[in-house]
A and B are shown apart, each in its own frame.
Chain A
Amino acid sequence: MALELIKGNIAIAEAALRAGLVSYFGYPITPQTELLEHLSVRMPELGRGFVQAESELGAINMVYGAACTGLRTMTSSSSPGISLMQEGLSYISGTELPAVIVDVVRGGPGLGNIAPSQADYTQLVHGGGHGEYHLIVLAPASVQEAVDLTGLAFDLAEKYRMVVCLLLDGSLGQMMEPVELPEFKPLRTTPPAYAVGSPDSKGQVVLTSINIDPPTQERFNVKMMTRWQEVEKNEVRYKGYYLEDAEYVVIGYGTAGRIALSAVREAREQGLKIGLLRPISLSPFPAKAVDELADKVKGFLVVEMSNGQMLEDIISITARRIPVEFYGRMGGMVPYPDEIANAIERLVQGEHIVNTDARGKWLADMRELVGTGE
């Protein structure tokens, strides 16, 4: 099949169609809007459901309804919209329903800006809505990977009856790259037995997240946690680069991981034994891979387009066995490979203090570099 040059947002929309998307509900927000626009044409063209909702609250609750049919449904948004959707994510999770959401992250907090960011890591990986639940969170680093993970997202959502989130920054949503789109999957339009409107259900189907009896709620939470253990066992995804003989390893996901790869290659050319671990599933997190690397290497450098949200997970996994340094840009700023290369150099040449305050050191540097605006 031929490669086509497609913008990230549109490629994800097209991949979702081909994965058998039955209905889509969204709301315009930059830098995600092309996804909504593309589906506003394609879904009706194919006789499938499309609504531009009144708000992100409306959109996620439409997804909640559609997910009650057990058929493939999706919404997409960007950070402020995802904040509004947290209510629905909790309810959908609490009802054990499959749904896919796409977050094309932008700079924040608040209205922030429309530039690329990874600052939604915590709200999606570590919850955001009320109660206890997990999302599967997948982070592509290229348009092709976004396409591939879109199909996977629907499969995983159905397999575990969970919400799967595709987390990418605004630059991936906006950039054009050559991609190979998958073939169209057959469209499933008959609800499965557990869903409403199913011809296969035995008697009344009630889908609700209410458990008014606390022991019942606790049992349900135990069941959800047990399922999450299965997900952690089966669905960890990451990519390693130059890890075989690496003395130091950079850890970064999505666009930050991709930029870090340029810096790592440059370091290799200089003879430095640097590797890269690029988590693809942020939830479940590749904790075992990080843990094993921590036993082998002299130190980590975590790179993010946020203030070190993933850094906290890395520190928790390494339990301060080895030095962990941090380099991040915030607020819609994207690091250049040079900046990461400099951070690598500091890591290799610096004193290796295990209990160093990585974020504090970085923040002091940032105050010098960009100031505080005061």
Chain B
Amino acid sequence: MTETDVKIVAKRPLGFTDRTTHYCPGCTHGVAHRLIAEVLEEMGELNNTIGVAPVGCAVFAYNYFNFDFVEAAHGRAPAMATGIKRTLPTKTLFTYQGDGDLASMGMGEIVAAASRGEHITVIFINNTNYGMTGGQMAPTTLPGQKTSSCPHGRDVETQGYPIRTAELLATLDGAAFVARRSLHDARSIRMAKRAIRTAFEVQKQGLGFSMVELLSICPTNWGMNAIDSRQWLVDRMLPYYPVGDYKISTAVSEMKIGGN
């Protein structure tokens, strides 16, 4: 018999439990979870991390990650993360928030945390609707987009315009790293992972507030299959929410990231 070299090309991240997620088929929450787990594993931070779960579809995120977690009130995750970080400054803190949670209910908390340069990392899932409550209009819902609370399409005359969160937070001096990525294809997902790594490195190196906005799909509430949803993201979301680095502070631009 000849010996064959065995190379592991994919494995379950060490930061995951063995539970199956409750997320809908095609949903990108699972992808986002995996990227976070992989990055924390590569950084050796799994045992030093405390996550803050939101109110929304990811309310049970702590069932899938195996490190310490707390569960915030709707929108208050950045405040809760601040409270933990200021009490245990050596811990790595991240919040995982959706668009209703972060950009509507919690806009005060996120802007304040970013402006303070709070040493936390925010993973922001933008799927243009309130997922858990059944697909209502969110601050991120696109003009004309139909949701269960704007069934005729978002009318900007009466319901206003979507919020571009990454661009908004990038104006704050305390924000060290703010980026938007997308989860619609493999290349985008690899880029998203690099941004998430950078965001956590910013925190670890004490450079300030970091946030990665992730454009995500919601096939169930959008009423499409996963493939059509990905195409809708490309056609409709990317033009309104371009991916890119919206804030890289001088210190972050000079930051060195260890190999993995």
Contacts and interface: CB of A to CB of B under 8 A. Distances in A.
Contacts of A207: 69-71
A196 B109 contact: no
Interface in B30-72: 50, 52-53, 59, 62, 66-72
Contact of A66 (B17, B71, B76, B86): B86
Given A23-B86, A62-B79, A87-B73, A208 B52 contact: no
B88 A57 contact: no
Contacts of A206: 62, 68-71
B59 A210 contact: yes
Given A68-B80, A203-B66, 12 more contacts: A23-B87, A49-B87, A49-B89, A57-B79, A58-B82, A59-B79, A62-B79, A64-B72, A69-B88, A196-B50, A206-B68, A207-B71
A64 B50 contact: no
B191 interface: no
B87 A22 contact: yes
Nearest to B17: A204
A62 B86 CA distance: 9
A69 B84 contact: yes
Contacts of B59: 210
Contacts of B150: none
Contact of A197 (B66, B88, B111): B88
Contacts of A205: 68-69
Interface string B13-34: 0000100000000000000000
A64 B76 contact: yes
Nearest to B88: A197
B144 interface: no
Given A58-B79, A65-B80, A66-B83, A191 B88 contact: yes
B13 to A, nearest CB: 15
A178 B73 CA distance: 41
Interface of A: 22-23, 25, 49-51, 53-55, 57-59, 61-69, 71, 73, 87-88, 91, 95, 191, 196-197, 201, 203-210
A197 B81 contact: no
Closest 4 CB pairs of A and B: A65-B83, A208-B71, A54-B112, A49-B86
Contact of A208 (B70, B84, B109): B70
B91 interface: yes
Contacts of B52: 65
B64 to A, nearest CB: 11
B50 A197 contact: yes
7 contacts: A25-B83, A25-B86, A57-B109, A58-B108, A64-B73, A65-B79, A197-B88
B76 A57 contact: yes
Nearest to B85: A65
Contacts of B72: 61, 64-65
A66 B109 contact: no
Contacts of A54: 79, 108-109, 111-112
Interface string B75-116: 010011111111111010000000000000000110110001
Contact of A61 (B50, B69, B109, B116): B109
Interface in B167-188: none
